[in-house]
């Protein structure tokens, strides 16, 4: 890298018509240490250079020349309300050739434009230098962390500023050719804001950021996002509000600023989004422990607030397996542990279905949980755990000694029936080991666990059931089909052999 930069300097001097003696003297004057050389190159840099280098360092992905053109001309405090006005600015670069030269000039040759028109550093050591030392040197006496934080604050506000431009609000199509910076802005402003929030930026900066985040602008952002990339996991829902954004993306610092700027007696800690979810509900669902602590600390939050589906914060936290959030809510002593949503599901039911063993243990440890709580179709926590093959979860529930092992749902299926159908050998073994399970239990179609296992070709499960010596090998369902018929129909040769051998022995 050092050699590359020195040779480049020699070529530049030669093109300028300098003689060999001056070129040799220039070479000898170049510091032999790469870091010192980089420092020398940035000594004469001005604010536009800093802004360019920040984008190359901290953009969520490398920017194209077209994107960088807009990133450089727009700033959080720029006086322009429209993109057309931005194009009349003195520092607006109208074409790619000029922009490429500007990148090289502002970066002192340390950044380049690739064949795909993407801007990047010429070497990883350059980026390492700026991240560790260079940006803080350019930005006064800031530490590298402070320099990074300042960059993310700026980028977040630039993204929001771009979204607020008049042309974007009026548009119905958001093509890259018409709005080259819009895709980056739409998909990246949250990431930059998260970086700000995680770095605990000053409250004044947060409040300045919040001043731009009206619900109208957030609604526009959601609409643009859904047009550009509606299938992304990060795509916001319709009717997005500040509450939704703060909690979904974990902006704890922003949440604190919201609460602190409000009148202490009027701060609405129970505000809801369009789906009836409160701040605490969003924090619980998304695992934002610090936000939940902050809300609980107010002493005013409704711990059992129900959303439009009837789920409470505890239900949401249990469903998504957020152990720390579940513990926080239980510690309040104010939650209804057996609260039911509109389909009758309890927090234990959600946790069991999704395999969240630690959460199930926390709920069981209270000694107050309804272990056999049924949802509207009669499914219990044991039923869900058995269907999904969660061996440890099934063991936890069995160890309580309080579960109904043969509980039936609306159509007569038992935990053993579910486990057998899906081939969960270990779970079937656990249920058989209790000595209390009805091995030939029949559902509304008179199907037995053996029938389900045979249909799906689960050889190991079929063997386990046969080994009990208690199954009816020839049990017929309501249409007269036996396990052997199911196995034959689906081509499960090994299961057919097992069943035939059992019939011969009979």
Per-residue pLDDT tens over the stretch 94-145? 899 999 999 988 988 889 999 999 999 988 888 888 888 777 777 767 788 8
Whole-angstrom CA distances from 45 to 27, 89, 107, 132, 349 are 21, 21, 8, 17, 61
In angstroms, rounded to a whole number, what is the distance separating the alpha carbons of residues 28 and 41? 15
> pLDDT value at position 365?
96
State the first-to-last Cα distance of the chain, in angstroms, to the nearest integer: 82
In angstroms, rounded to a whole number, what is the distance separating the alpha carbons of residues 320 and 318? 5
In angstroms, rounded to a whole number, what is the distance separating the alpha carbons of residues 417 and 405? 11
The rounded mean pLDDT for the chain is: 87
Give the global pTM: 0.67
State pLDDT tens for residues 390-434.
Answer: 999 999 999 999 999 999 988 999 999 999 999 999 999 999 999
> Which residue in the block uniquely carries the two structure tokens 């309300």?
81
* Rg of the chain (C-alpha set): 32
The alpha carbon torsion through 168, 169, 171, 175 (nearest 10 deg) reads 30
Would you kindly state where each structural domain of the chain is located, as residue ranges?
A: 31-229
> pLDDT value at position 65?
94
Helix, strand, or coil (residue 412) = coil
> pLDDT value at position 29?
80
In angstroms, rounded to a whole number, what is the distance separating the alpha carbons of residues 163 and 190? 13
Residue 474: CB atoms within 10 Å: 13
Beta bridge partners of 118: 64
Q: What are phi and psi of 501, to 5 degrees?
A: -65, -40
Residues with Cβ within 8 Å of residue 349, at least 6 apart in sequence: 373, 375, 379, 380, 381, 384
In angstroms, rounded to a whole number, what is the distance separating the alpha carbons of residues 451 and 186? 53
Beta bridge partners of 121: 111
Q: Say how many residues make up the chain.
A: 506
Nearest by Cα to 448 from 477, 490, 410, 478: 477
DSSP strand E in 88-135: where? 111-113, 119-121
> Which residue in the block uniquely carries the two structure tokens 């993204």?
159
Residue ranges in the chain whose pLDDT is less than 50: 264-265
DSSP state for residue 276 in the 8-state scheme: S
């Amino acid at each position: 890298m050092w050699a590359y930069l020195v040779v480049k300097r020699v070529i530049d001097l030669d093109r300028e018509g300098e003689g060999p003696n001056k070129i040799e003297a220039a070479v000898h004057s170049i510091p032999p240490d790469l870091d010192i050389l980089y420092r020398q190159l940035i000594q004469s840099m001005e604010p536009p250079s800093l802004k360019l280098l920040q984008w190359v360092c901290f953009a969520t992905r490398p920017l194209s020349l077209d994107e960088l053109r807009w990133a450089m001309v727009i700033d959080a405090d720029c006086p322009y309300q429209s993109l057309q006005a931005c194009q009349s600015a003195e520092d607006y670069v109208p074409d790619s050739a000029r922009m490429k030269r500007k990148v090289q000039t502002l970066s002192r040759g340390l950044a380049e434009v690739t064949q795909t028109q993407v801007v990047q550093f010429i070497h990883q050591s350059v980026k390492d230098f700026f991240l560790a030392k260079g940006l803080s040197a350019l930005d006064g006496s800031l530490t590298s962390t402070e320099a990074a934080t300042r960059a993310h604050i700026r980028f977040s506000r630039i993204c929001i500023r771009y979204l607020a431009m008049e042309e974007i609000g009026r548009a119905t199509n958001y093509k890259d050719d018409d709005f080259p910076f819009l895709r980056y802005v739409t998909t990246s402003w949250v990431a930059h804001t998260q970086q700000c929030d995680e770095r605990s930026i000053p409250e004044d900066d947060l409040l300045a950021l919040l001043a731009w985040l009206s619900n109208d602008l957030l609604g526009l952002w959601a609409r643009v996002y859904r047009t550009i990339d509606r299938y992304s996991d990060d795509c916001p829902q319709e009717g997005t509000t500040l509450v939704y954004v703060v909690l979904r993306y974990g902006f704890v610092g922003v949440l604190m600023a919201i609460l602190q700027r409000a009148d202490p007696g009027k701060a609405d800690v129970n505000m809801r989004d369009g789906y009836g979810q409160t701040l605490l509900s969003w924090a619980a669902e998304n695992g934002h422990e610090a936000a939940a602590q902050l809300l609980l600390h107010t002493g005013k939050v409704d711990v059992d607030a129900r959303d439009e589906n009837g789920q409470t914060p505890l239900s949401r936290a249990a469903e998504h397996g957020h152990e720390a959030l579940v513990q926080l809510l239980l510690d309040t002593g104010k939650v209804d542990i057996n609260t039911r949503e509109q389909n009758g599901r309890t927090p234990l039911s959600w946790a069991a279905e999704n395999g969240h063993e630690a959460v199930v243990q926390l709920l069981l440890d209270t000694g107050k949980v309804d272990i056999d709580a049924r949802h509207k179709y009669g499914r219990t926590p044991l039923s869900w755990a058995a269907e999904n093959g969660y061996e440890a979860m099934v063991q936890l529930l069995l160890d309580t000694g309080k579960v109904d092992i043969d509980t039936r749902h609306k159509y007569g299926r038992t935990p053993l029936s579910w486990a057998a159908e899906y081939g969960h050998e270990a779970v079937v073994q656990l249920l058989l080991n209790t000595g209390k399970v009805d091995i030939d239990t029949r559902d509304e179609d008179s199907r037995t666990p053996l029938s389900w296992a045979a249909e799906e070709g689960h050889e190991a499960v079929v063997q386990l059931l046969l080994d009990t010596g208690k199954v009816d090998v020839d049990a017929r369902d309501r249409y007269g089909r036996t396990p052997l018929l199911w196995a034959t129909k689906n081509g499960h040769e090994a299961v057919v052999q097992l069943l035939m051998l059992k019939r011969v022995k009979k």
